[in-house]
């Protein structure tokens, strides 16, 4: 009955029910007007060899049938789709969402659109996303790698094929491509300096995986602040984690078991700092009276926890904006030499109650 109703409705509206089930093509327009598909194609692309009357008729029928041009087919003809592939680890995290916003605002002004792919922190899914975006004929790739990506063969393959590539946040250092990162070193230097100014001397560091460049740079910033104030670096105060709750809990247990437990903990990411504060509270340890805590990123949740989390505010939108502009420069071949790694150094310390 429903099928019969749809056919009757389509007939009354003058719409072929078969057309409703698929995308309208120039062949459908040509059949309705009784002209060749090449004439329709020329009319739709404003070819001067088509009369104004024919062009007007084609445009009217195209509007009537809700014709949408096949961008992939046009891309094959022009050898460009004006689409860019953006691969990020997790779209739900405000940091990555803000970067995507910056990229989109940068490239949209020049008529480019983005296809967003999420790797979900999986190197295998990252690889599959690259393959899918290649099949979609994107003109270039902007990629933030997963925390576990160590093999960059897929990226090297794209580079060898001549695809414009921009690496951001978690970068590939093995290729001469534009790289855009936040000021990791200065961020942890600033938060560690703040804890020292608050009178803390036994400062621990909740770090990330050792192989991540961001983890290395943030640890270096932490160590530089200690060194400047004559505070001895103690390896037992540094815990490398994979950003998992059980890793945070294990680190706290190890620190509290030391003869001299930390009186402050720097973390390299806000989610870890918030988890840490919750675990300390469960153990009856007061923040900041017993142990001060700082984060990194200024996640929206940082101002909602009690006490509020002191953190280093990143500028992810700016990272995306610069990454997008770099991609446009690559596409327009404006680079005579590939720029060195670009550091976005507009971050700042946001002081709240967790540091005392």
Q: Which pair of structure tokens corresponds to residue 60?
A: 């009217």
The tens digit of pLDDT for each residue in 217-253 reads 999 999 999 999 999 999 999 999 988 899 999 999 9
Domain 2-69 top-level CATH class:
mainly alpha
Q: Which CATH superfamily is domain 184-314+349-355 in?
A: Response regulator (3.40.50.2300)
- DSSP-assigned letter for residue 198: T
Give the span between the Cα atoms of 350 and 303, in whole angstroms: 10
pLDDT digits (tens, 9 = 90+) for 169-220: 999 999 999 999 999 999 999 999 999 999 999 999 999 999 888 999 999 9
Secondary structure letter of residue 337 according to DSSP: S
83 token code pair: 């689409």
Q: Which of 143, 180, 144, 138 is nearest to 163 (CA)?
A: 138
Asked if the model's pLDDT at residue 98 lies above 50, the reply is yes
Fold equal for 2-69 and 184-314+349-355: no
DSSP code of residue 57: H
* Domain extent listing, the chain: 2-69, 82-182+316-346, 184-314+349-355
The pLDDT > 90 percentage for the chain reads: 69
* Measured distance CA(290)–CA(282) in Å, rounded: 13
CATH 3.20.20.190 fits 82-182+316-346, yes or no: no
Which pLDDT band, with edges at 50, 70 and 90, does 338 fall under?
Answer: confident
């Amino acid at each position: 009955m429903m099928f019969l109703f749809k056919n009757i409705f389509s007939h009354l509206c003058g719409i072929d029910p078969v057309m409703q089930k698929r995308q309208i093509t120039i062949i459908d327009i040509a059949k309705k007007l009784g002209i060749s598909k090449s004439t329709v194609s020329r009319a739709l692309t404003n070819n001067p060899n088509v009369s104004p009357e024919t062009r007007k008729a084609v445009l009217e029928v195209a509007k009537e049938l809700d014709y949408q041009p096949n961008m992939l087919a046009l891309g094959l003809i022009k050898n460009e789709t004006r689409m860019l592939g953006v691969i990020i680890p997790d779209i739900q995290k405000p940091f990555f969402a803000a970067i995507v916003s910056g990229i989109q605002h940068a490239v949209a002004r020049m008529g480019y659109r983005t296809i967003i792919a999420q790797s979900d922190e999986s190197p295998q899914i990252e690889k599959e996303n690259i393959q899918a975006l290649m099949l979609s004929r994107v003109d270039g790739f902007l990629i933030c790698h997963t925390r576990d990506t160590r093999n960059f063969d897929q990226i090297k393959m794209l580079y060898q094929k001549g695809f414009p590539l921009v690496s951001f946040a978690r970068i590939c250092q093995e290729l001469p491509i534009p790289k855009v990162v936040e000021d990791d070193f200065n961020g942890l230097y600033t938060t560690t300096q703040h804890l020292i100014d608050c009178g803390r001397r036994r400062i621990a560091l909740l770090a990330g995986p050792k192989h991540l460049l961001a983890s290395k740079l943030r640890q270096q910033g932490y160590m530089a602040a200690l060194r400047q104030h004559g505070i001895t670096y103690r390896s037992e105060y540094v815990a490398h984690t994979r950003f998992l709750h059980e890793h945070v809990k294990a680190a706290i247990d190890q620190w509290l078991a030391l003869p001299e437990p930390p009186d402050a903990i720097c973390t390299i990411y806000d989610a870890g700092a918030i988890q840490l504060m919750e675990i300390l509270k469960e153990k009856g340890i007061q923040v900041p009276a017993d142990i001060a805590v700082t984060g990194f990123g200024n996640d929206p949740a940082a101002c909602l926890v009690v006490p509020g989390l002191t953190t280093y505010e990143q500028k992810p939108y700016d990272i995306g904006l610069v990454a997008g502009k770099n991609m446009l420069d690559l596409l327009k071949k404006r680079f005579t030499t590939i720029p060195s790694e670009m550091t976005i150094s507009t971050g700042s310390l946001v002081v709240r109650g967790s540091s005392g």
